[in-house]
């Protein structure tokens, strides 16, 4: 991999006409949100995400998934947007970028007050709506995942 200097990246960015910004977990690590793929990320410690099929296969799998999510939630809720999130929000407000696409569900782009989120983020937010629906049922862990 060839590294480029800040000056080269800045020059390319300024030459582009309203580029799109794409972010992933790396933008949130300075806010204390762990990533998966770095040398100290969750994958290096043996974490393996649960697949959709596993989640749907048994109430015990869903219970484990939601329990782990509840354990991790407080650190996500306490996290603050960092300089990267704020810089992107400012670039969006000034019209310097065309859009923001993120797979992150940590809410830090929202805390930085971005104007608009990408489709990928909207899909993630719709998962929250499903969770809210399930939590309003008498026994969400017993619900099946079949369409």
In this prediction, residues 48-66 reach a mean pLDDT of: 88
Digit-coded pLDDT (tens) for 64-96:
988 988 888 888 889 999 999 999 999 999 988
pLDDT number for residue 137: 47
pLDDT for res 28? 94
Looking at the predicted structure, is the pLDDT value of residue 33 above 60?
yes
Question: Can you say whether the dihedral through the CA atoms of 12, 19, 82, 90 is positive or negative?
Answer: positive
What percent of the chain clears pLDDT 90, i.e. is strictly above it? Answer: 23
Judged against a pLDDT cut of 70, whether residue 145 lies above it is answered with no
Cβ neighbours, 10 Å, residue 88: 21
Instruction: With a cut of 60, say whether residue 57 has pLDDT above it.
Output: yes
pLDDT at 121: 47
Q: What average pLDDT does the chain have?
A: 80
Q: What is the pLDDT of residue 68?
A: 85
End-to-end CA gap in the chain: 43
Closest CA to 20 of 90, 121, 101, 94: 101
Distance between CA atoms of residues 98 and 107, nearest Å? 20
SS3 81: coil
Measured distance CA(66)–CA(31) in Å, rounded: 23
Please report which confidence band the pLDDT of residue 129 belongs to, taking 50, 70 and 90 as the band edges: low
- Cα distance between residue 36 and residue 26, in whole Å: 9
Evaluate if residue 130 carries a pLDDT over 70: no
When computed from its CA atoms, the radius of gyration of the chain, rounded to whole angstroms, is 18
CA distance linking residue 104 with residue 32, whole number of Å: 14
| d(C-alpha 75, C-alpha 6), whole Å | 31
- Tokens representing 24? 């992933």
Distance CA 118, CA 110 (A): 12
């Amino acid at each position: 991999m060839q590294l480029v200097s800040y000056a080269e990246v800045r020059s390319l960015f300024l030459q582009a006409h309203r580029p799109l910004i794409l972010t992933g977990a790396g933008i949130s690590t300075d806010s204390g949100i762990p990533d998966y793929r770095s040398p100290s990320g969750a994958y290096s410690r043996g974490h393996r995400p649960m697949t959709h099929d596993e989640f749907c296969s048994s109430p015990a799998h869903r219970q484990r998934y939601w329990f782990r999510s509840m354990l991790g939630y407080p650190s996500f809720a306490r996290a603050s947007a960092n300089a990267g999130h704020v810089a992107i929000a400012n670039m969006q407000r000034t019209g310097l970028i065309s859009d923001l696409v993120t797979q992150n569900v940590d809410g830090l782009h929202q805390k930085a007050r971005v104007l608009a989120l990408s489709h990928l983020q909207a899909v993630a937010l719709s998962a929250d709506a499903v969770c809210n629906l399930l939590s309003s049922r008498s026994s969400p862990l017993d619900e099946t995942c079949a369409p």
